[in-house]
């Protein structure tokens, strides 16, 4: 009996390492399906950690990294070790230790952000690509490639000049808000991975902490304070010519604006469910909110004011 258990564990580890490799290869080479499959890549690592220990999981992860390196190249092997490895190990550890949903998302987001920073650092070190500071040569290359594409579509010189100005502004904004987008991407990455993980692992009798229904998502007062501090940093940075403080303020403001937009959508969803709005009309409203800036702004402000007013409480009190 004692001899069969290690053999079974080794076979299971090798099998899950192979699955991780296949999923990662699909995420690289299959455009649309690959994006969806990428959220499944940490699952075998999480499953291994839940069934075994850290040492055994690291060994299986190393095997997966070697297999990916042989098939897709050493750089891809390093990426799977850093990106999916760190996230899978963190989620596996926090789930196994029975952390709360908030703690799992928090630690998972930190691991995801750290892995992304390490990959960006490797990209800068190996490929000389710096996403934080585009130099003039990089900007010219990106802009010229885009303009050549649109010129081939028959755009006039005036249209190309206007497009060039818009591209420059967009790239400059992207350069400034990149840190906030990176943090939001880490949160989204962990949330989707946890959602998929929870659905899959329930089939194997693992109970993961649930989360509040989307209709009841609300921001805390500290989020509003942080949002206002972001605006204060922008004002002081512009007033006293402090570019770094201004950039920090913009990133803080962007981050919490998106957060309040999401909680505002939660509030919209709550009322649509309470009034039994049909699915078709629901999706029509969502599309309009995303397409029309004035509706997006109203939803964002609704998410902010809901922190103090709690619109749901008035609706539910009225029902009673």
Say what the pTM is.
0.75
Contact 132, 114 (CB under 8 A): no
Together in a domain, 198 and 228 = no
Together in a domain, 259 and 205 = no
pLDDT at 149: 64
Together in a domain, 51 and 1 = yes
Contact 170, 129 (CB under 8 A): no
Together in a domain, 104 and 193 = yes
Q: In total, how many domains does the chain have? A: 2
Instruction: Evaluate if residue 150 carries a pLDDT over 70.
Output: no
287 falls within a domain: yes
CA atoms of 266 and 216, how far apart (whole Å): 6
pLDDT at 300: 93
Q: Taking residues 166-189, what's their average pLDDT?
A: 79
The H helix count followed by the E strand count for the chain is 14, 0
Structure tokens at 5: 């258990």
Q: What are phi and psi of 129, to 5 degrees?
A: -110, 120
Together in a domain, 235 and 278 = yes
Instruction: Evaluate if residue 296 carries a pLDDT over 50.
Output: yes
Q: How confident is the model at residue 151 (pLDDT cuts 50, 70, 90)?
A: low
Instruction: Evaluate if residue 5 carries a pLDDT over 50.
Output: no
From 316, 283, 87, select the one nearest 188 (Cα to Cα). Answer: 87
Per residue in 53-93, pLDDT (tens digit) is 888 888 888 888 888 888 877 877 887 788 888 888 998 89
pLDDT at 3: 42
User: What does the radius of gyration of the chain's CA atoms come to, in whole angstroms?
Assistant: 23
Instruction: Evaluate if residue 260 carries a pLDDT over 70.
Output: yes
Residues 6+ apart with CB under 8 A from 305: 311
pLDDT at 69: 84
Contact 185, 254 (CB under 8 A): no
Instruction: Evaluate if residue 37 carries a pLDDT over 70.
Output: yes
Q: Taking residues 242-264, what's their average pLDDT?
A: 90
CA atoms of 229 and 226, how far apart (whole Å): 5
197 falls within a domain: yes
Q: Which domain holds residue 236?
A: 212-320
Positive or negative, the CA dihedral 35, 79, 102, 245 is: negative
Mean pLDDT of the chain: 80
171-175 long-range contacts (CB < 8 A, ≥24 apart) are 171/134, 171/139, 171/142, 171/143, 175/132, 175/133, 175/134
179 falls within a domain: no
Residue scoring higher pLDDT (57 or 12): 57
User: b or e along 233-247 (b: 16 or more beta carbons within 10 Å of the residue's beta carbon)?
Assistant: bbeebeeeeeeebbb
């Amino acid at each position: 009996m004692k001899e069969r258990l290690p053999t079974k564990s080794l076979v299971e580890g090798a099998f899950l390492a192979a699955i991780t490799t296949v999923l990662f290869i699909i995420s690289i080479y299959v455009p649309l399906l690959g994006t969806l499959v990428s959220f499944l890549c940490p699952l075998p690592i999480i499953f291994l950690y839940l069934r075994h220990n850290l040492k055994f999981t690291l060994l299986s992860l190393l095997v997966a990294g070697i297999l990916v390196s042989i098939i897709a190249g050493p750089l891809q092997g390093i990426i799977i070790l850093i990106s999916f490895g760190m996230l899978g190990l963190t989620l596996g550890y926090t789930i196994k230790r029975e952390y709360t949903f908030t703690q799992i998302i928090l630690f998972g987001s930190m691991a995801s952000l750290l892995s992304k920073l390490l990959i960006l650092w490797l990209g800068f070190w190996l490929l000389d690509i710096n996403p934080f500071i585009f130099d003039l040569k990089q900007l010219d290359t990106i802009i010229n490639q885009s303009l050549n594409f649109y010129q081939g579509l028959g755009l006039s010189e005036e249209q190309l000049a206007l497009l060039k100005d818009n591209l420059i502004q967009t790239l400059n904004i992207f350069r400034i808000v990149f840190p906030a987008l990176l943090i939001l991407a880490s949160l989204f990455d962990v949330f989707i991975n946890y959602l998929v993980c929870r659905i899959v692992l329930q089939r194997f009798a693992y109970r993961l902490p649930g989360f509040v229904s989307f209709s009841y998502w609300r921001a805390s007062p500290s989020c509003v304070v942080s949002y206002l501090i972001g605006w204060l940093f922008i004002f002081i940075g512009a007033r006293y010519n402090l570019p770094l403080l201004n950039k920090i303020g913009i990133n803080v403001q962007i981050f919490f604006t998106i957060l309040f937009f999401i909680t505002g959508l939660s509030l919209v969803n709550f009322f649509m469910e309470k009034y039994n709005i049909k699915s078709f009309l629901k999706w029509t409203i969502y599309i309009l909110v995303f397409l029309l800036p004035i509706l997006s702004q109203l939803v964002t402000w609704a998410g902010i004011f809901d922190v103090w007013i709690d619109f749901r409480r008035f609706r539910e009190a009225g029902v009673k």
